[in-house]
Every structure is written in C-alpha cells, then in structure tokens.
Amino acid sequence: MNDQNAVEKAESADIPLERDVFLRTLIRELSGTLQDVVGIDEAAGFISVVGQNMGNQINNEYRKALRLDRLNREQVSAVLVDLKRRIHGDFYIVEENEEKIVLHNRVCPFEDKVIGRPAMCMMTSNVFGSIAAENLGYAKVELNETIASGSNRCVVTVYLKPTDQSLAAEGREYVRGGD
C-alpha cells in the first residue's frame, strides 16, 4: 500500500540534497574515514592514486579535443584553469614562467565539504601534477595554502623544472610516464 500523501510530503520537503551535494558529501565522508582510520598521510596517498588516474584521463581528453600530442606550458596553464572552472572551482593564474605556474583559487569545487579534509587536496595536486608532467616532462606541486586547512583561498605552485626553489619546496614530484 502506498501512502500518496507521505510521498508528496517527502518530495516537497525542503532538503538540500541533489546529486552534486550527495557526491561531494560522499567524497568528504570517504576521505574523512580514511583520515581517521589510517591517518592524513596515508589517506592522502590513497586519494593521490585516484587523482593520478583522474589526471591522466583529463589530460587525454584535453589532448584529444585539442588534437595535440602534447600541450605546451601556456596550454597546460589554460587546461588547469579550465578543468577547475568546469567543476565549479575558481582558479586563476597569478604567475607563469618557464620554472613555475602559480595559481590562486577562491572557490573549492568541493565547497564546504573540503573543510577539515586536507587529504582531498591530493586530487588537485595529482591532477595538476600529472597533466603538467605528462606534457612538460616534470612537475612538483606545492599546496601553499588550502581552503581545506582553513585558509580563505588556495595557493598552488606547479614547479616545471627541478630548481633550487622547487627542490626546497614541500610537495609531490611527478614525471612523464616512462621517464
């Protein structure tokens, strides 16, 4: 027996739940559980694997769409900004040269679901790092500031060459597959 009134009430209930919120919450809870069970460093490692795979897929999609075998630095910068725009982030370039790309972000694609979940930032690190390295040969990504850690913005530096500055920076290094 179906109580039509109950169905109508449930359907009209003012609950902020839709697919995007559900998936962001799912990722938040998964990363939080990982952080609680295995620690932040290990959780970041697990999320890094996912980010690496996502980065490779996204990189392949952009190269296919742009009909390019490899992206140059300017194209890599544009792709990093565009991919975050497509997933509702607000990244923009503040510095770009042969040695590094520095990006700022005002809005995390995970929105408030990222707060207190710094392991989730490994998605950005690995996606950015894998795209830059696959196209330019090398990358080291430093998460200088993150919304997840309480800042009002993200500052991400993508080093493109192993320099004294990049070697001294805290971050993850990436190299082109097979290199």
**Domain with 157 in it: what CATH number?**
3.30.1380.20
**CA dist., res. 52 & res. 56, Å (int):** 6
95 within domain boundaries: yes
**CA dist., res. 154 & res. 177, Å (int):** 27
Number of domains in the chain: 1
pLDDT of residue 163: 95
97 within domain boundaries: yes
57 within domain boundaries: yes
Q: Could you list the residue range(s) of the whole structural domain that residue 116 is in?
A: 17-175
pLDDT of residue 178: 58
8 within domain boundaries: no
90 within domain boundaries: yes
Closest C-alpha among 177, 160, 27 to residue 103: 160
128 within domain boundaries: yes
pLDDT of residue 41: 87
Q: What is the model's pTM? A: 0.87
Average pLDDT of the residues in 105-128: 93
- Sheet order of strands, 172-175 included: 91-96, 100-105, 154-159, 138-145, 172-175
Q: How many CB atoms lie within 10 A of CB 17?
A: 9
162 within domain boundaries: yes
